[in-house]
Structure 1
Amino acid sequence: MTDEASAPGKSTAPGKSTAPQASDQYVQSLARGLSVIRAFDAANPVMTLSEVAARTDLTRATARRFLHTLVELGYVRTDGKSFVLTAKVLQLGYSYLSALSLPQLAQPHLEDLSLALGESTSAAVLDGTDIFYVARVATRRIMTIGITVGTRFPAYATSMGRVLLAGLPQPRLEEYLAAAELHAITPRTVATRGELLAVLDKVRAQGWCLLDQELEVGLMSIAAPVWNHNAGDVVAAVNVSLQAQSVAAQADPAAYLESVRRHVVETARAISQDVSAKHGDA
């Protein structure tokens, strides 16, 4: 198994995300080049030309030109048959992450939380219809694919995503629902608008979310919101990932989950205080 950062279930492949409405300022070649980079992910770290073309809906000739341009720029390397991203692509997101105080503020709290529970912990923000991991402490791999900073998952099927969606003002939530493609990732996934709205009402009221095997069979997680109290909005979410089998093996599973919930909520509260203080000083 894996954890909430690595489960399958994207409604579209990374290279096939919906493009913004084209305008006279829209540069199609740049959009296509970025789609080639996004085609590589944890489940597809190494691909052939044909695989890249298929995941991006580009012709082989077009995909070849973009790939070899990226090779010359140092963002991709090839052995003549397969292609893989290089570490240089990290520079593309470094400016964003370095300007975002959240990862630095959250990391020590996530480390303390992971140490207290012996489980993997993460922080994520909402980006379009996905959650985007900005910080993580991994203890062991409990999902089928690995989770790292930069991993994305569909928000509706994750505990952190539901916390973030529950914190949106109604107009933005409606925009999300109009753009998101809901489908059942596992037999337990909440995948209709009505069911999701009911779940979000509950998450909003209680201030945390328990996800039980909706992103991946065997995976559970508990998440809580991180607030910027100065602005009065939810800016991120933190979670703990759990193995359903391990939870069931506890002497009192309900009491164990309640203990985890308290730790997660307290960690989110501590990060919220740091975030609010940081932005209050800005």
Structure 2
Amino acid sequence: MIARADFIEGMAKGLAVLESFDTERQRLNATLAAQRAGITRAAARRHLLTLAHLGYLETDGSYFWLAPKVLRFSGSYLASARLPRVIQPTLNRLAAQTAESFSAVVLDGDEVVIVARSGSTRVLAYGLHLGARLPAHATSTGRVLLAAMPKARFNAWMKGRELARLTAHTTVDPRKFKAVVEAVREQDLCVASEEHELGVHALAVPLRNMQGHTVAALNVVAAPQRLEARQMQRDLLPLLLEAARELRPLL
């Protein structure tokens, strides 16, 4: 915890306004930004104008949207962070072997974030780009990372949570979802079939360091017309497990 005297409230509010922009709301006015950031309209307006003045937002005078300058943060992270640099060659090799799409993902609150991704000639799923944020409960990687939590922490994560239904196959009942995560914990892998997006199967395994801590999840996605879930486990799971073993001393 940070000492109250060290907490800069204005910075926190400004970042909350910046984070209020997402794929659901690409353009916000002061009223919408205030609602999403949990601050007053007047404060939201000042933060929006300041961010626009600094070049992080663009505006037509009423609505605001993200400017390319915000990519400086993600670009600096991807260029300097050790995890993506260590994992990227392995993802490229897996993609070259199979022509499938592989990703390395970390957990950030309610979502998972793709921090490294292979190139692939097959575009299978919407939004699987570098830096994409996906709901943890409906993704194979999210479930692997949730299963890696101590049970008490996972129960706290679940407390009072409503799981959004993204497709007809998404598990949204809390008891059923807890059972799914428990199964992932026992099997040390996860297959998610069309729970985040129709027409897409995903298989994920944990990436652990030498201390045994899960630092990320590695997954592959495939269309069901090419690979059924059982076939995907048979053909691709050994490759994922071997990659996880190879990466462990590097993480």
Q: Would you call these one fold, judging by a TM-score over 0.5?
A: yes
Map 1:176-191; keep pairs closer than 5 Å: 176-178=157-159, 180-191=161-172
Equivalent of 2:216 in 236, 241, 259 = 236
Q: CA deviation at 1:46?
A: 4.5
Take 1:74 and 1:179, find their aligned partners in 2: how far apart are those partners?
38
CA deviation profile, 1:222-243 (whole Å, cap 9, x unmatched)? 11110012x2211100111122
Q: TM-score, normalised by structure 1?
A: 0.76
C-alpha contact 2:92 2:119 (8 A) present in aligned 1: no
C-alpha contact 1:125 1:134 (8 A) present in aligned 2: yes
Q: Does 1:170 align with 2:146?
A: no
Task: Report the counterpart of residue 279 of structure 1 in structure 2.
Answer: none
Report the residue type matching 1:213 in the other structure: E
For 2:195, what is the secondary structure of its paired residue? coil
**Structure 2 vs 1, CA of residues 40 and 183 (structure 1 numbering), >3 Å: closer, same or farther?**
closer
Task: Report the counterpart of residue 125 of structure 2 in structure 1.
Answer: 143
Equivalent of 1:263 in 227, 232, 239 = 239
Q: Does 1:200 align with 2:181?
A: yes
Task: Report the counterpart of residue 5 of structure 1 in structure 2.
Answer: none
Q: Does 1:219 align with 2:200?
A: yes
RMSD: 2.9
Q: CA deviation at 1:108?
A: 0.8
Take 2:68 and 2:247, find their aligned partners in 1: how far apart are those partners?
29
C-alpha contact 2:125 2:200 (8 A) present in aligned 1: yes
Map 1:43-122; keep pairs closer than 5 Å: 43-47=24-28, 52-53=33-34, 55-56=36-37, 61-80=42-61, 82-93=63-74, 97=78, 100-122=81-103
How many residues get paired? Answer: 250
**Structure 2 vs 1, CA of residues 206 and 265 (structure 1 numbering), >3 Å: closer, same or farther?**
same
Structure 1 window deviating more from structure 2 (101-110 vs 63-72): it is: 63-72
Gaps of 5+ in 1: 1-19, 276-282
Q: TM-score, normalised by structure 2?
A: 0.84
Take 1:179 and 1:126, find their aligned partners in 2: how far apart are those partners?
19
Report the residue type matching 1:148 in the other structure: H
Taking only the aligned residue pairs, the percentage that are identical comes to 37
CA deviation profile, 1:53-91 (whole Å, cap 9, x unmatched)? 554455654433222110111111234454332232233
Higher relative contact order (CA 8 A, sep 6+): 1
CA deviation profile, 1:170-213 (whole Å, cap 9, x unmatched)? 23222222264323322211223322222222222222111001
Take 2:166 and 2:27, find their aligned partners in 1: how far apart are those partners?
24
**Structure 2 vs 1, CA of residues 115 and 179 (structure 1 numbering), >3 Å: closer, same or farther?**
farther
